[in-house]
Amino acid sequence: YPADNIQIFRQRYVLGDTAMQKMAQSHVFLSGMGGLGVEIAKNIVLAGIKALTIHDTKQCKTWDLGTNFFVREDDVLNLRNRGEASLHHIAELNPYVQVMSSTTPLNEVTDISFLRQYQCVIVTEMKLSLQKKINDFCRAQHPPIKFISADVYGIWARLFCDFGDEFEVLDTTGEEPKEIFISNISQSNPGIVTCLDNNPHKLETGQFVTFREVNGMQCLNGSTHQITVVSPYSFSIGNTVDMEPYLHGGIAIQIKTPKIFHFQQLEKQLINPTCLVADFSKPEAPLQIHIAMLALNQFQESFARMPTIGCLQDAEEMLKMAVSISKTLEGKPQVNEDTVKWLSRMAQGSLAPLTAALGGVASQEVLKAVTGKFSPLQQWVGCGAIGCEMLKNFALLGVGTGRERGMVTITDPDLIEKSNLNRQFLFRPHHIQKPKSCTAATATRNINPQIKIDPYLNKVCPATENVYNDDFYTAQDVVVTALDNVEARRYIDSLRPLLDSGTMGTKGHTEVIVPHLTESYNSHRDPPEEEIPFCTLKSFPAATEHTIQWARDKFESAFSHKPSLFNKFWQTYPSAEEVLQRIKSGESLEGSFQVIKCLSRRPRSWPQCVELARLKFEKYFNHKALQLLHSFPIDTRLKDGSLFWQSPKRPPFPIQFDINDPLHYSFILSTAKLFAVIYCIPFTEKVSLQLEGVEFVVQTDETVRKPDPIPISSEDERNAVLQLETAILANEATKNDLQMKELAFEKDDDSNGHIDFITAASNLRAKMYNIEPADRLKTKRIAGKIIPAIATSTAAVSGLVALELIKIVGGYPFQAYKNCFFNLAIPIIVFTETAEVRKTEIRNGISFTIWDRWTIYGKDDFTLLDFINAVKEKYGIEPTMVVQGVKMLYVPVMPGHVKRLKLTMQKLVKPAANKRYVDLTVSFAPETDGEEDLPGPPVRYYFAHENN
């Protein structure tokens, strides 16, 4: 991709520029265009390699329609080659990747020297003997060709990687280097570095750090030291006895050092495999799956076919082979008979969600192989049973294809943007600015014409409860979320089974919520995001994130908030003459002084917009620094004698404007353009400044005006009246003058100047405070709060979700469900059991869970006492309190509440519009006096039974 293409912004953030350049120069060979092969091809083409050769010798068959989402019924009827049938679909995913097809037979006598042109070779659906031959050839090259083997048989899968004897990785995790503010460094052996304000350093023993801005131990600055963790808040760095005493300040910055990974060839790893354990409740599973897979490979070699589906004789033959193979492996692991027999029965098939999950993991290994970024898999992973990816899996599984019933309902209020294309494979460039849901529905029908999809364009929130009402949710069997925020997930938590998932770069998670079996999504809460203190943003920034957030706040204030207040004021008071008359008569109009001030300073031309931008430069980057240094001179000390300006507080330095400085020019141009937009003034791409300097008076204690005891001062009134009269006389308070254009921050449109302003403003403030500046991409990521998403993680997550969907539809017991957390960069994959729902005991064997809701059907004349008696009669316990939300309907100790027992329910509570019920909360008397009332489940009260 071109470097400035927003399509791959997230990919660049995850991988970095160096890795992206390596990837864009890489040639990859991929053999086998079954479901797994096409998954890998899709993901690495979306990622942006230079060239891909897909190899396949098989014809399209009916069962390919269940896994290869690019094969159509017409391809099966015409006996097309699987690779050639998929070629143009894969190629159109990314016009910058050259995709070629090969149908040359590959066997033990084939000359494979042609593989020398590739940096990575991936094989699927290949005999083990041929895999060994190709692996040996790849290892013999200089540098070695990276080799990956992957297969899915039924509900079983395996993945193998060999990147050579020595494979260097420059960045093993992909995480941002940690920066630690220092409060003390001891003069000792070893020297102990203590973190500021007991903030954890999150470093590990053996890692390296460098130092900057240390006062006292000056020799530390710029030096590199290996650390040993002492505690979460301190670490040692070696002998500091002979250094000068530490005074104050300093930042320790983590240094990423290269790491060498060592691999063994396939032949050796078959005998003594190094396996990644994904499910720690079954640590023996990887080896058992390994033995079963080797038995399957031996069966193929012996009989030149796969085991016949359901054939007991083939299963017994495979079991004998597995027992024999186990004796040749180191440790002679135990054979799991069930695994071998199930694999025999299913080996001819392939489960689409599993090909998606393994395809996502395998694709990430391909990207590691060609970029040297992230820790590679060493060396096996085996296992058994978001948005566009979800729909692809649903289509392949046949979800929503039933004749009697069956429907997939999707909703998304957004339109397709360029940045969606590199990870949402159903979309193409000609779909940009079309609705996501409708486009995805059409593309999914191409994969499976029998699927029934109903696309909506509504956001799921309280405002759309008339669309997504009780009847809507009752009609759903499962709810699957592909959301980008926690609050939306909490809102959608309902009485339906919920499959939640999410990704952030190489990280991903899946969570299964099954009513009456597991806890709900709302049963647990993540800690809130840490906010930057206001004083830090306003006066004492210490990190790049602070300056970027400050610039984003300035954007919102100047170009969104102020125009909004301006417009609302003039919508309330439609003419300047009316406002002038009201102020003269002594009336107080909220916000009038700020609005009139804005009107009087309104620019009328492009040069005036430039002048306004120049004034902002002086205010933000010169006057602010002068004022702070007047209030707190450099030598200011606190009561304990320590310096005021010490880390993390940094003193500001006033910036003198220079039109020839590209950063200064960029700020003026971008700011002036935004002013021109909100004031509806035509602008150009050039600025010429006549403003030589701007006078600034430092505010001393005498010049700072004390706040007035009343909100309106006569001085303010006089100024407002004078400014408004002047505007009216100059015919500058017309209807057009009384409105501004409000800007909504948009990060993905490079032509609107929003990111230009924030980048320039942030880096000028960083320069003023001697903070490391950020490039445009980092600024966009932080200011836009971009959650990086890449195709590999998305594919893996969606496959795992679809596997859990099969369990839900099949009515599996609690023990069958698994949540998953993974980080493909490290790599780590962890499956955990879901949290079992907890019961709350009331008494006498009566209990409830978070999923329970009691239901009472009333009549028109039902009183509160009738309601209480109905609960007692139906559920065996009498309520002592009845509450609706925060409104207490019946609390016996409250004055007058006993009289409410005779009132009808219709008089006490009202249902929401379009609803015939209310949700109430009841409590029950404690078993012992003096204890708190016992909580009960929510009670839904229907005002009239359906049959009444």
State yes or no: pLDDT of 707 exceeds 50.
no
User: What is the rounded distance in angstroms from the CA atom of residue 909 to the CA atom of residue 381?
Assistant: 58
The reported pLDDT for the residue numbered 692 is: 47
Region of residue 321 (phi > 0: left; psi between -120 and 50: alpha; otherwise: beta):
alpha
State what percent of residues in the chain have pLDDT above 70: 91
pLDDT band at 529 (very low <50, low <70, confident <90, very high): low
HEC assignment per residue over 73-84 = HHHHHCCCEHHH
In angstroms, rounded to a whole number, what is the distance separating the alpha carbons of residues 600 and 299?
A: 87
Which residues are paired to 382 by β-bridges? 158
pLDDT score at 732: 84
Residue 140 structure tokens: 């013999």
- Give the range among 363-367, 379-383, 450-454, 548-552 with minimum mean pLDDT: 379-383
Q: Note if the bond before 827 is cis, omega within 30 degrees.
A: yes
Give the pLDDT band (50/70/90) at residue 693. very low
Tell me if residue 504 falls in helix, strand or coil. Answer: strand
| pLDDT of res. 483 | 65
State yes or no: pLDDT of 9 exceeds 70.
no
Question: For the segment 20-35, what is each residue's pLDDT rounded down to a tens digit?
Answer: 788 889 999 999 999 9
pLDDT at 111: 94
Instruction: Tell whether the model's pLDDT for residue 600 goes beyond 70.
Output: yes
Quote the tokens at residue 322.
Answer: 């597995």
Run of H or E residues at 28 = strand 27-31
Question: Could you tell me the pLDDT band of residue 493, with boundaries at 50, 70 and 90?
Answer: low
Question: 384 with 155: CB under 8 angstroms?
Answer: yes
Q: What is the mean pLDDT of residues 831-837?
A: 88
Q: How confident is the model at residue 641 (pLDDT cuts 50, 70, 90)?
A: confident
Nearest to 673 by CA among 744, 617, 598, 609: 609
What's the pLDDT at 387? 59
DSSP label at residue 651: -
Cα–Cα distance list, 123 to 67, 75, 351, 741 (Å) = 17, 23, 18, 57
Domains and CATH numbers, the chain: 6-170+352-384 (3.40.50.720), 179-255 (2.40.30.180), 545-644+654-701+713-773 (1.10.10.2660), 840-942 (3.10.290.60)
Place of tokens 């054979």: 335
Largest CA distance in the chain: 103
Return the number of other C-beta atoms located less than 10 Å from residue 137's C-beta: 17
Q: Is the pLDDT of residue 948 over 50?
A: no
Q: What is the mean pLDDT of the chain?
A: 87
pLDDT attached to residue 263 = 97
* pLDDT score of 32: 97
Tokens for 531, please give them.
């906010």
800-819 mean pLDDT: 90
pLDDT at site 702? 43
Q: Is 164 exposed, middle or buried (0-12, 13-18, 19+ CB in 10 A)?
A: buried
Q: What is the mean pLDDT of residues 104-114?
A: 93
Average pLDDT over residues 150-158: 92
Query: What does the DSSP assignment read for 532-596?
Result: PPHHHHHT---SHHHHHHHHHHHHHIIIIIHHHHHHHHHHHS--HHHHHHHHHTT---TTHHHHH
Average pLDDT, stretch 605-626? 94
Higher pLDDT, 751 or 546: 546
Average pLDDT, stretch 713-728?
Answer: 79
pLDDT classification of 235: cutoffs 50, 70, 90: very high
More confident residue, 760 or 707: 760
Instruction: Name the token pair of 143.
Output: 């540098």
What's the Cα-to-Cα distance from 135 to each of 111, 202, 364, 642, 896, rounded to whole Å? Answer: 14, 39, 19, 65, 85
Active site residue: 535, 609, 680, 820, which one?
535
Residue 415 CB-half CA count within 13 A: 8
Q: Strands 917-924 and 934-942: what pairing?
A: antiparallel
The structure's pTM equals: 0.77
**Length of the chain, in residues:** 948
Taking residues 611-624, what's their average pLDDT? 94
Contact 583, 722 (CB under 8 A): no
Q: CA 502, CA 386: separation in Å to the nearest integer?
A: 7
Strand partners, 820: 510, 831
Kindly tell me if the per-residue pLDDT of 902 is higher than 60.
yes
Does the annotation mark 60 as catalytic?
no
pLDDT (0 to 100) of residue 518: 86
- Among 63-72, 694-703, 852-861, 937-946, the range with the most confident prediction by mean pLDDT is 63-72
